[in-house]
Chain A
Amino acid sequence: MTEPRRIPLPELGSLYRKAALDAAKSKLSTTGSLKALPQRPVLAEHPGITEEQAEAYRQLVHGEVFDGVHRASLPSVLVHIAGFPVQMALMSQREFPLPLLGMVHLSNHVHHHHPVTAGQPLQILARAENLAPHRRGTQVDIVLEISAAGQLLYSSTSVYLGRGSYLFDKPDAAAPREDFTPPVKTALWTLGAEAGRDYAAVSGDYNPIHLTGLTAKALGQKRAIVHGMYSAARMLEGREPEGAGHQWSIQFAAPVALPGKVAFAAEQVEEKVTRFTGWNPRRAKPHFTGELILP
Chain B
Amino acid sequence: MAETVREAVIIGGNRIPFARAHGAYAKASNQDMLTSALNGLVARYGLQGQQLGAVSGGAVLKHSKNFNLVRESVLGTPLDPKTPAYDVQMACATGTEAIGSLANKIKLGQIDSGIGGGVDSISDAPIVVTDELRGILMEANRAKTLGARLKALAQIRPGHLAPQAPGTGEPRTGLSMGEHMAITAHQWGITREEQDELAAASHRNLSATYEQGFFDDLVTPFKGISKDNNMRGDSTVEKLAKLSPVFGKDLGEEATMTAANSTPLTDGASAVLLGSEEWADAHDLPKLANFVDYEQGAVDFVDGAEGLLMAPTYAAARMLTRNNLSFEDFEYFEIHEAFASTVLAQMKAWESAEFCRDKLGLDAPLGSIDRSKLNVTGSSLATGHPFAATGGRIVATLAKLLHGKPGKLGFISVCAAGGQGITAIIEGR
Which residues on A are within 8 Å of B, measured CB to CB? 59, 62, 182, 184-190, 194, 263, 265-268, 274, 281-282, 284
- Are B187 and A187 in contact, with the CB atoms below 8 A? no
Bound state CA distance, A268 and B131, in angstroms? 33
- Are A266 and B303 in contact, with the CB atoms below 8 A? yes
Residues of B within 8 A of A187 (CB): 172-175
Return the contact of B159 from the options A182, A184, A189, A194 (Cβ within 8 A): A194
Task: Indicate if B284 sits at the interface (CB-CB under 8 A).
Answer: no
Task: Indicate if B179 sits at the interface (CB-CB under 8 A).
Answer: yes
Return the contact of A190 from the options B131, B174, B250 (Cβ within 8 A): B174
- Are A184 and B187 in contact, with the CB atoms below 8 A? yes
- Nearest residue (CB) in A for B184 is A184
Report how many residues on chain B are interfacial, defined by Cβ distance under 8 Å.
15
- Are B302 and A186 in contact, with the CB atoms below 8 A? yes
Bound state CA distance, A281 and B249, in angstroms? 9
- Nearest residue (CB) in B for A234 is B174
Task: Indicate if B404 sits at the interface (CB-CB under 8 A).
Answer: no
Bound state CA distance, A186 and B174, in angstroms? 9
Residues of A within 8 A of B173 (CB): 186-188
- Are A268 and B159 in contact, with the CB atoms below 8 A? no
User: B residues 83-137 with Cβ under 8 Å of A?
Assistant: 131
- Nearest residue (CB) in B for A282 is B250
Residues of A within 8 A of B24 (CB): none
Residues of B within 8 A of A182 (CB): 250
Return the contact of A188 from the options B174, B303, B304 (Cβ within 8 A): B174
Bound state CA distance, A190 and B302, in angstroms? 16
Residues of A within 8 A of B179 (CB): 188
- Nearest residue (CB) in B for A268 is B303
Given known contacts A185-B175, A187-B175, A284 and B250 CB-to-CB distance under 8 angstroms: yes
- Are A263 and B187 in contact, with the CB atoms below 8 A? no
Bound state CA distance, A120 and B302, in angstroms? 33
**A184, A185, A274: which has the most chain B beta carbons within 10 Å?**
A185
Known: A188-B175, A284-B250. 13 other contacts (CB 8 A): A62-B171, A184-B183, A186-B173, A186-B175, A186-B303, A186-B304, A188-B173, A189-B174, A190-B174, A194-B159, A265-B304, A268-B303, A281-B250
**B159, B174, B303: which has the most chain A beta carbons within 10 Å?**
B174
Shortest distance from the beta carbon of A113 to any chain B beta carbon, whole Å: 26
Return the contact of A263 from the options B159, B250, B304 (Cβ within 8 A): B250
A-B contact pairs, 9 of them (CB 8 A): A59-B131, A62-B171, A182-B250, A184-B187, A185-B250, A187-B175, A188-B174, A194-B159, A263-B250
Bound state CA distance, A268 and B302, in angstroms? 12
Bound state CA distance, A266 and B304, in angstroms? 8
Shortest distance from the beta carbon of A279 to any chain B beta carbon, whole Å: 10
Residues of B within 8 A of A190 (CB): 174
Residues of B within 8 A of A281 (CB): 250
Residues of A within 8 A of B174 (CB): 187-190
Shortest distance from the beta carbon of A284 to any chain B beta carbon, whole Å: 7
Bound state CA distance, A268 and B179, in angstroms? 21
Bound state CA distance, A59 and B186, in angstroms? 34
Bound state CA distance, A120 and B315, in angstroms? 47
Residues of B within 8 A of A282 (CB): 250
- Nearest residue (CB) in A for B170 is A187
- Are B304 and A184 in contact, with the CB atoms below 8 A? yes
Bound state CA distance, A70 and B315, in angstroms? 31
Shortest distance from the beta carbon of B174 to any chain A beta carbon, whole Å: 4
Shortest distance from the beta carbon of B107 to any chain A beta carbon, whole Å: 37
Shortest distance from the beta carbon of B190 to any chain A beta carbon, whole Å: 15
Shortest distance from the beta carbon of A263 to any chain B beta carbon, whole Å: 7
Residues of B within 8 A of A265 (CB): 304
Shortest distance from the beta carbon of A190 to any chain B beta carbon, whole Å: 6
**A182, A184, A187: which has the most chain B beta carbons within 10 Å?**
A187
Bound state CA distance, A146 and B174, in angstroms? 34
Bound state CA distance, A259 and B397, in angstroms? 47
- Nearest residue (CB) in B for A237 is B172
Residues of A within 8 A of B172 (CB): 187
Shortest distance from the beta carbon of A264 to any chain B beta carbon, whole Å: 8
Residues of B within 8 A of A188 (CB): 173-175, 179
Residues of B within 8 A of A268 (CB): 303
Shortest distance from the beta carbon of B192 to any chain A beta carbon, whole Å: 19
**B131, B171, B173, B250: which has the most chain A beta carbons within 10 Å?**
B250
Shortest distance from the beta carbon of A212 to any chain B beta carbon, whole Å: 13
Residues of A within 8 A of B304 (CB): 184-186, 265-267
Bound state CA distance, A190 and B173, in angstroms? 10
Shortest distance from the beta carbon of B307 to any chain A beta carbon, whole Å: 11
**A186, A189, A267: which has the most chain B beta carbons within 10 Å?**
A186
Bound state CA distance, A188 and B169, in angstroms? 10
Bound state CA distance, A194 and B132, in angstroms? 13
User: B residues 156-209 with Cβ under 8 Å of A?
Assistant: 159, 171-175, 179, 183, 186-187
Bound state CA distance, A185 and B187, in angstroms? 12
- Nearest residue (CB) in B for A198 is B132
Residues of A within 8 A of B175 (CB): 185-188
**4 tightest Cβ-Cβ pairs between the two chains A and B:** A186-B304, A187-B173, A188-B174, A266-B303
Shortest distance from the beta carbon of A193 to any chain B beta carbon, whole Å: 9
Residues of B within 8 A of A189 (CB): 174
**A182, A265, A266: which has the most chain B beta carbons within 10 Å?**
A266
Residues of B within 8 A of A186 (CB): 173, 175, 302-304
Given known contacts A190-B174, A263-B250, A281-B250, A185 and B183 CB-to-CB distance under 8 angstroms: yes
Shortest distance from the beta carbon of A29 to any chain B beta carbon, whole Å: 42
Bound state CA distance, A113 and B304, in angstroms? 29
User: B residues 206-242 with Cβ under 8 Å of A?
Assistant: none
